[in-house]
Amino acid sequence: MKKIKILTGTLLVLGQLAIAQTAPTADEVINKYIAAIGGKEALMNVTDMTTNMSSDMNGNSIIITRKQKLPNKFSMVINANGMEIMRQVGDGEKVLRGGMQGTNTIEGTEAKQMTAINTLFPELHYAENGVTSTLVGTEKIEGKDTYKLSHALADGRGTWTDNFDVTTGLKVQSIATNKSPRGEMTTTSVYSDYKDTNGIKFPMTITQTSPRGPMTMSVDNVKINKGIKDSEFSTK
């Protein structure tokens, strides 16, 4: 009996070692994702991008316009039935967030985290933004086997996670927590229906779950290198 227990324990250890040896590093997971959506060269040729999305919430027509520009500028505007209900703008240092309850400026760790996540093709710029990524392990998402990565800023704060399909390398989920006037708010985004635009694959359906409730966004179009002006990202 003792020999059987020893043998069983040995097999378990060997099995764990085999898994550890075959598991990719965080950098390898990210590199596979970059290759899967078009490759580093194609992505680096993009200097600005506008993504137009639409949704429906409780019978209200929602229009979302997201703009990104190198090196680290971004904005997102949400309109419901023709009225602006939310605006978020990042100039690379600060983030201006406005909505029905007023406007506030975000700085420090939270602004750095939001910038690192919303930068154009953020995985390409993690190193320059001081972001470190760690492979947490595998996880089932929507029935798919995925590699889960945890990301953190240089000071170890502002963590968020991404899940990448083991087979295709595509990103299937992101979870991030940000502060809001109502306290911390965790948003889960699920990405699906990837399609090619200008040689780059984008998810055409994004389903978000947050304290505001669930919302499924359809990507209507993606416009690349249209010369977005820096003035569109002013936080003053």
| pLDDT tens, position by position, 197-212 | 999 999 999 999 887 7
Q: Which helix (H) or strand (E) holds 220?
A: strand 213-224
Name the percent of the chain lying above pLDDT 90: 70
Q: Can you spell out the DSSP letters for 183-198?
A: EEEEEEEEEEEEEEET
- The whole-angstrom distance between residue 1's C-alpha and the CA centroid of its chain comes to 51
Q: Which helix (H) or strand (E) holds 2?
A: helix 2-22
Q: Mind listing the pLDDT tens digit for each residue in 31-59?
A: 999 999 999 999 999 999 999 999 987 77
Residue 8 lies in a domain: no
CA proximity to 233, closest of 124, 152, 114, 101:
114
Residue 11 lies in a domain: no
Residue 205 lies in a domain: yes
Beta carbons of 222 and 197 less than 8 angstroms apart: yes
Q: Is 93 helix (H, G, I), strand (E, B) or coil?
A: coil
pLDDT value at 18 more than 70: no
pLDDT at 7: 47
Q: Are strands 95-99 and 60-69 parallel, antiparallel or unpaired?
A: unpaired
- Beta partners for 195? 202
- The whole-angstrom distance between residue 154's C-alpha and the CA centroid of its chain comes to 18
Where is pLDDT greater, at 125 or 6?
125
Q: How far apart are the first and last CA of the chain?
A: 74
pLDDT at 183: 64
pLDDT at 58: 78
Q: What mean pLDDT is reported for the chain?
A: 89
User: Identity (one letter) of the amino acid at 48?
Assistant: D
Residue 211 lies in a domain: yes
The residue behind tokens 């250890």 is: 13
pLDDT at 3: 52
Q: Mind listing the pLDDT tens digit for each residue in 105-138?
A: 999 988 999 999 999 999 999 998 999 999 999 9
pLDDT at 22: 81
Residues across the chain = 236
Residue 6 lies in a domain: no
- What is d(CA 206, CA 71) in angstroms, rounded to the nearest whole number? 24
Residue 5 lies in a domain: no
- What is d(CA 158, CA 154) in angstroms, rounded to the nearest whole number? 9
Residue 40 lies in a domain: yes
* CATH code of 31's domain: 2.50.20.10
Residue 90: pLDDT band (50, 70, 90) is very high
- What is d(CA 69, CA 75) in angstroms, rounded to the nearest whole number? 9
pLDDT at 53: 98
Domain range for residue 194? Answer: 24-233
Residue 158: pLDDT band (50, 70, 90) is confident
Where is pLDDT greater, at 154 or 188?
188
- What is d(CA 58, CA 158) in angstroms, rounded to the nearest whole number? 32
Residue 17: pLDDT band (50, 70, 90) is very low
CA proximity to 122, closest of 94, 144, 90:
90
Q: Mind listing the pLDDT tens digit for each residue in 52-78?
A: 999 987 778 999 999 999 999 999 999
Residue 196 lies in a domain: yes
Q: How many domains does the chain have?
A: 1
pLDDT value at 87 more than 90: yes
Question: How many CB atoms sit inside 10 A of residue 158's CB?
Answer: 22
In this predicted structure, which of 8-17, 37-46, 65-74, 214-223 has the lowest mean pLDDT? 8-17
Query: Which whole number is the average pLDDT over 225-234?
Result: 96
- In sequence order, the 6+-apart residues with CB closer than 8 A to the CB of 7 are none
